[in-house]
């Protein structure tokens, strides 16, 4: 064990012998110790991480900015809401976060819009994550897909993953892509996930979905996620399946799905 220097003075903090491994992970490892306790700096860092996670849960989706940016890609964009009326209700009633409000159901039924693929952008448990990462990913993937598919996008306030099933059914979509804020952790409060479903319909369970996770500044890049997403779309449309039935053979070391990188 080695004592860490502090302002030129000998520190009381003892460093762990394996502290060099910290450079490989943002996990809370090799924190050192003072006697039987954590160093004060680590206690304060933990409290800060807890506060950032809580802030992420209560962050707000920038719906107007997202809709404006997505509309520039020349695809239909719908601003929708789940049945949730407040963030506190969202946390205790996940069932309501999976269904659209009646007025939005009526809207989608009245316009008779259909599409091949619907992107659903929703806050989940970290709107910050979606605000930061969704536009970069969408601007990477939608221009690639537009030559082959009819695309629509729904920006949904207070939504959970399964709300993509109802939206996909109402738009008669063959495939849904749900971009959602993941549950904040104590090292990353702004991680976005993507859930894909072939033939989305009300009542599906999670075994019908594929997931791409950990999209954030220190994790999977938007370009890397777009490459995997493009692969899942191609495979699902070719085999007409998704979820556990769809075996992924993507080379994650190179990001190339069977040699076909996202152009």
Please report, for the chain, the start and end positions of each structural domain, with discontinuous segments joined by +. Answer: 62-257
pLDDT, tens only, 160-197: 999 999 999 999 999 999 999 999 988 899 999 999 99
Say how far apart CA 202 and CA 125 lie, in whole Å. Answer: 22
Mean pLDDT over all residues of the chain?
Answer: 90
Q: So what's the pLDDT on residue 260?
A: 44
Tens-place pLDDT, residues 208-234? 999 999 999 989 999 999 999 999 999
Whole-number pLDDT of residue 5: 55
261: pLDDT confidence band, cut at 50, 70 and 90? Answer: very low
pLDDT score, position 259: 40
Binding residues: 161, 182, 211
- Specify whether domain 62-257 bears CATH 3.40.50.450: no
Q: Cite the annotated binding site for adenosylcob(III)alamin by residue number.
A: 161, 182, 211
Q: What is the pLDDT of residue 11?
A: 80
């Amino acid at each position: 064990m080695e004592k860490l220097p502090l302002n030129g003075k000998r520190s009381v903090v003892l460093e762990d012998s394996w502290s060099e491994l910290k450079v490989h992970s943002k996990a809370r490892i090799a924190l050192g110790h003072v006697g039987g306790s954590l160093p004060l700096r680590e206690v304060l860092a933990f409290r800060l991480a807890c506060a950032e996670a809580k802030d992420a849960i209560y962050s707000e989706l920038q719906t107007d900015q997202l809709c404006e940016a997505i509309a520039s890609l020349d695809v239909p964009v719908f601003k929708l809401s789940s049945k949730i009326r407040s963030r506190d209700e969202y946390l205790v009633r996940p069932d309501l976060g999976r269904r659209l409000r009646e007025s939005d159901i009526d809207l989608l039924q009245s316009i008779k819009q259909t599409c091949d693929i619907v992107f659903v952008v929703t806050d989940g448990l970290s709107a910050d994550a979606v605000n930061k990462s969704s536009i970069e990913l969408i601007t990477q993937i939608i221009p690639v897909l537009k030559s082959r598919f009819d695309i629509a996008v729904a920006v949904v306030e207070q939504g959970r993953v399964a709300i993509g099933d109802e939206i996909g059914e109402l738009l008669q979509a063959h495939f849904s892509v749900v971009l959602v804020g993941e549950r904040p952790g104590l090292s990353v409060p702004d991680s976005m996930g993507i859930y894909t479903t072939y033939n989305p319909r009300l009542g599906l369970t999670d075994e019908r979905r594929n997931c791409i996770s950990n999209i954030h500044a220190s994790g999977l890049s938007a370009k890397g996620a777009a490459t995997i997403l493009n692969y899942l779309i191609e495979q699902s449309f070719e085999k007409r399946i998704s979820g556990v039935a769809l075996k992924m053979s993507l080379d994650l070391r190179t990001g190339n799905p069977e040699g076909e990188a996202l152009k």
